Amino acid sequence: MSTRLATGGRFLDRNQPRVFTFNGTDLSGFAGDTLASALLANGRSMVGRSFKYHRPRGIVASGAEEPNALVNLGQGAAFEPNQRATTTEIFAGLKAESQNHWPSLEFDIGALNNLVSRFLPAGFYYKTFIHPRAAWKHVFEPIIRHSAGLGRAPKERDADRYEHFYHFTDVLVIGGGVAGLQAARAAAADGGRVLLIEQSAQWGGRAPVDGGQIDGKDPEVWINDALEELEKAPNVTIRRRTMGSGVYDHGYVLGYERIADHTPGDTRPRHRLWRIRAARVITATGAIERPLSFAGNDIPGVMLASAMRDYVVNYAVSPGDRTVVVTNNDDAYRTAIALKNAGLDVPVILDARPQAEGDLPRAARDLGIRIETGRAIARVKGRKSVTGVAICAQAGEGAVLEEIACDAVAMSGGWSPVVHLWSHCGGKLIWDEAGAFFRPDPDRAPISHDGQPFVATAGAASGQMTLAETLKDADSAGKVASRALGLAAGRKGAPKASQPQEGPITPVWMMPQGAGPALRQKMWLDYQNDVKVSDVQLAAREGYESVEHTKRYTTLGMATDQGKLSNINGLAVLSGALQNDIPAVGTTTFRPPYTPISMGAIAGEARGDIFQPIRRTPIHDWHDDNGAEWEPVGQWRRPYTYRRAGESTHDAVMREVKNTRQHLGLLDASTLGKIIVKGPDAGRFLDMIYTNMMSTLKPGRCRYGLMCSENGFLIDDGVVARIDDDTFLCHTTTGGAERIHGHMEEWLQTEWWDWKVYTANITEQLAQIAVVGPNARKILEALGGMDVSADALPFMAWADGQIGGFDARIYRISFSGELSYEVAVPASQGRALWDRLIETGQEFGVMPYGTEALHIMRAEKGFIMIGDETDGTVIPQDLGLNWAISKKKDDYLGKRAQARSHMTDPDRWKLVGLETTDGSVLPDGAYARGSGTNENGQKTVIGRVTSTYYSPTLDKGIAMGLVLNGPDRMGEVINFPALDGSATPARIVSPVFYDPEGEKQNV
């Protein structure tokens, strides 16, 4: 059983005990512990259940590669599932629960899957749940979905806050081990800006645990000296708890800073996502040890050899009283030595190699440790914890030679450089025969915009596995980066390092090498997703030759650890089964993030009230205070209607329409786009932009115009006012202001760059209020200051002046068919004008109206709405707007396109009014049936509804629609089927339902 050692622990502060809770039990650790080390210190080696078979799972690693020790962390609004215990720093009050079991970690019903595991091989789901077809949706999928997933989904809104941070640097160094520290020193020596980030809370990486000497110093001393130097350098920024998450094109890198995971509630943001632009990136990401594939290698108590000495040295945790070490390399002997030095028993080191003669095996022998070469583990004994190992010959089939009692097993299958960040942006790998790993190929680095490599690796990440080589490589990487930026690299040489000499590794992908099916079914590759050697071999037999296909078929490496431990072992087994070389099989693709990052960090500040910008008019608060039901129009919020107490939304809209038609309505039209177009060529320019002739418009007058894309389709409409000879003001739709301004600028900057025209989008400069209804003139006259009579300000004219003391421009335009003025004032005066109009308007029956009343009134008049009658496929001719298309002009945007055969096809659907025979309201978007079927066997359709409303003015449903040969079929009745099988008959009529002569607006 694991326990805390009486002394030692580099990271621990024994004066600061920390009480935390695991599965409801209070446990104690120290400041500096991770949750994993604290659990081990409390004898908790079993911490979870696997995904498929619900096998007991123990802590196997000490860092980001951990596949097993995932917990539900926190409670309520601070709850988060699948948190890695090995990278979770403990704090007082931490609450963790193990995952994927019911009813408890110790007794789990789901473990029944384990008993029938031989019936649940790779691809089980694909093979089993195919028939009967209906069962998938109703039976299998719900059951699988229920059993899927490890942790619980959070139920409450996240209480924490998150933010982004943009950072620019010459050199980014990822990884704060000795390689990263040296690379940063070398890169910073000549003044380049350097950012050094380290994912954990401690600098220095593995070197202090693994030993050796740097520049004649203990590694820990050297690390502290290097840190001190970097901290003092003004051109260097260093951050702990910040992981290099992903490397993207052109030196864009995401860094994931876990600011307050270990200090919850201290007012700091929980996570910060660094959005880094680096001219050069150095990944000093180290290496990850590989497990060995022997039967029972997943039983709690079996641990990576390096992790085991991390726990002993860094956290003063004994993984067990008696630990068997099994290895194919010299490095694992360090664990045996560390355990022995800590006063723990190592009954045997099983070395799969025929001989072990390096410095480290010799040192182990000198300590009196028994070493058995050519030996392997036949199987590990125990269920929820290790009780012993059965030993066999590595060369054989697993015949047991000896059994040794132990409570822990340290395994080492060699090391794999962490190549993830190198590979994210296209860095290629080569297979290193001597080291038995894939390492970055420096000749095929990720390339930036200038054709130059922008990522380099340093240290173990390059495949340099000794301290001396690591430091040399890192120093060179730093200097190369500095030189690439045009800086003279420092002249100082790399630090000199010494370490025990290591003998060569012998690759071992299965233990023993001749293991039969029974053993192979108990050799775990992917601990989290329960993928075994036998599953990968089955996939190969079933024809899965591509490593990417095998991955998806077996789910190897698809768990939350993304195969950090299983990837290389799995593809080695696959290559063995395919009788192919490992490099020929290749790796799966490495994709960001390196380890999962929080959704909160990705969203940054964009949540709650600031999830999205909301655009507010100067009158927004009045609407809000007066019952506005909001309608989003782009990012604007416009009042849909103003509901009074006890009133339904429908009734409110009806009231607003009637009141406007009978008395006086006010509309906040501030959101409508307003673009100034000025210059000697402004008229010529607008003649191209609009289908109408605008150059003939007289100053002081307005004209309604249509804009088309160069493909002929209607993109926007609005009223143009000519301000003076050189200046026009173009109104656009609410959603169109930015888009149309961009459209104009694009044509001016790319095609008509020599035309003398300037534009400016002044939409937000003005608050604009539509004063509408029979009493519109009366209220403006009551305000006083401008002559708004029919003679002074006729229909489609505008005038500047002071009305009621406001600096105003009044347009006599109407989108409702009533007498109507739109009064524009500077936005800073908008609210005051609105308040004055409401106050003054009381005697004239004033009521504000919203967008729905606006829509109904325009539909009653047969006015089109961009986005209702148009959808990007409609041309003005479809809408009967030929009167707005100038015949005199040589050209306008869309003219050529509108002459093409499809556009002039007489069978294009055209705009008509639709009136139901029973007065009901047609469903929006409904299609009209024709007779027969089309070439696809579908029922023929002959038209569709584009706008449909209940008209309180006419007291019946009215609609507009696009109908085949519509204008030629006035009076005909066509049918609009509903989903329930019924059909609504509607008569084709003129789209102008109300005041076709325009007598109301022209008074």
Partner 1 sequence: MSDATSALNGAAYHGYVEVQEAGLRGMITLRGDLASVDIKNVATGLGGVDFPAQGHCNWVEDRGIAWMSPDEVLVMVPHSEVPAALETARNVLSGQHHLAVDVSDARAVFVLRGAGLREVLAKLAPVDMSPEAFPAGHFRRTRLAQVPAAFWLGEDDSAQVICFRSVAQYVFDILSHAARPGGEVGLYR
Instruction: Give residues in contact with partner 1 (CB under 8 A).
Output: 161, 163-168, 193, 237, 266-269, 272, 275, 277, 604-606, 609-610, 612-618, 635-636, 676, 678-680, 756, 758-760, 762-766, 805-807, 826-829, 831-832
Taking the complex as a whole, the smallest distance from the CB of residue 245 to partner 1 amounts, in Å, to: 17
Q: Are 61 and 50 in contact (CB under 8 A)?
A: no
If the CB atoms of residues 124 and 758 are measured against partner 1, the closer one turns out to be 758
Whether residue 354 is preceded by a cis peptide bond, meaning omega within 30 degrees of 0, is no
If the CB atoms of residues 347 and 679 are measured against partner 1, the closer one turns out to be 679
Closest C-alpha among 879, 871, 949 to residue 909: 879
Counting Cα atoms < 13 Å in the Cβ hemisphere of 895 gives 17
Taking the complex as a whole, the smallest distance from the CB of residue 448 to partner 1 amounts, in Å, to: 17
Determine the 3-state secondary structure of 169 from DSSP: strand
Whether residue 132 is preceded by a cis peptide bond, meaning omega within 30 degrees of 0, is yes
Cα 779 to Cα 660: distance, rounded to the nearest angstrom: 13
Phi, psi of 349 (to 5 degrees): -110, 120
120: CB partners within 8 A, 6+ apart: 52, 53, 113
What is the DSSP secondary-structure string of 228-272? HHHHH-TTEEEESSEEEEEEEGGGEEEEEEESSTTSTTSSS-SEE
If the CB atoms of residues 160 and 818 are measured against partner 1, the closer one turns out to be 160
If the CB atoms of residues 195 and 344 are measured against partner 1, the closer one turns out to be 195
Whether residue 103 is preceded by a cis peptide bond, meaning omega within 30 degrees of 0, is yes
If the CB atoms of residues 164 and 969 are measured against partner 1, the closer one turns out to be 164
Q: Are 175 and 461 in contact (CB under 8 A)?
A: yes
Q: Are 849 and 666 in contact (CB under 8 A)?
A: yes
Taking the complex as a whole, the smallest distance from the CB of residue 701 to partner 1 amounts, in Å, to: 21
Taking the complex as a whole, the smallest distance from the CB of residue 269 to partner 1 amounts, in Å, to: 5
DSSP assignment, residue 345?
B
CA angle in degrees (0–180, nearest 5) for 68-71-72:
155
Taking the complex as a whole, the smallest distance from the CB of residue 805 to partner 1 amounts, in Å, to: 6
Taking the complex as a whole, the smallest distance from the CB of residue 672 to partner 1 amounts, in Å, to: 13
If the CB atoms of residues 552 and 616 are measured against partner 1, the closer one turns out to be 616
If the CB atoms of residues 38 and 682 are measured against partner 1, the closer one turns out to be 682
Closest C-alpha among 963, 966, 889, 891 to residue 927: 963
Counting Cα atoms < 13 Å in the Cβ hemisphere of 827 gives 13
Closest C-alpha among 267, 243, 271 to residue 259: 271
Taking the complex as a whole, the smallest distance from the CB of residue 350 to partner 1 amounts, in Å, to: 50
- Per the DSSP assignment, residues forming a β-bridge with 531 are 526
Taking the complex as a whole, the smallest distance from the CB of residue 843 to partner 1 amounts, in Å, to: 22
If the CB atoms of residues 13 and 228 are measured against partner 1, the closer one turns out to be 228
If the CB atoms of residues 152 and 678 are measured against partner 1, the closer one turns out to be 678
If the CB atoms of residues 610 and 978 are measured against partner 1, the closer one turns out to be 610
If the CB atoms of residues 268 and 650 are measured against partner 1, the closer one turns out to be 268
Taking the complex as a whole, the smallest distance from the CB of residue 267 to partner 1 amounts, in Å, to: 4
What is the DSSP secondary-structure string of 354-397? S---SHHHHHHHHTT--EEETEEEEEEE-SSS--EEEEEETTSS
Taking the complex as a whole, the smallest distance from the CB of residue 614 to partner 1 amounts, in Å, to: 6
Taking the complex as a whole, the smallest distance from the CB of residue 830 to partner 1 amounts, in Å, to: 8
- Buried/exposed 189-211: b ≥16 CB within 10 Å, e otherwise: bbebbbbbbbbbebbbbbbbbbb
User: Computed over its alpha carbons, how large is the radius of gyration of the chain?
Assistant: 38
If the CB atoms of residues 332 and 766 are measured against partner 1, the closer one turns out to be 766
Cα 376 to Cα 396: distance, rounded to the nearest angstrom: 9
Provide the token pair at 750.
């790319």
Closest C-alpha among 505, 568, 502, 515 to residue 376: 515
Taking the complex as a whole, the smallest distance from the CB of residue 196 to partner 1 amounts, in Å, to: 13
Taking the complex as a whole, the smallest distance from the CB of residue 825 to partner 1 amounts, in Å, to: 8
Provide the token pair at 518.
């029974």
Q: Are 972 and 988 in contact (CB under 8 A)?
A: yes
In the block, tokens 């066997």 appear at 937
If the CB atoms of residues 613 and 932 are measured against partner 1, the closer one turns out to be 613
Cα 156 to Cα 79: distance, rounded to the nearest angstrom: 8
Neighbours of 401 (CB within 10 A): 14
If the CB atoms of residues 275 and 908 are measured against partner 1, the closer one turns out to be 275
Taking the complex as a whole, the smallest distance from the CB of residue 498 to partner 1 amounts, in Å, to: 37
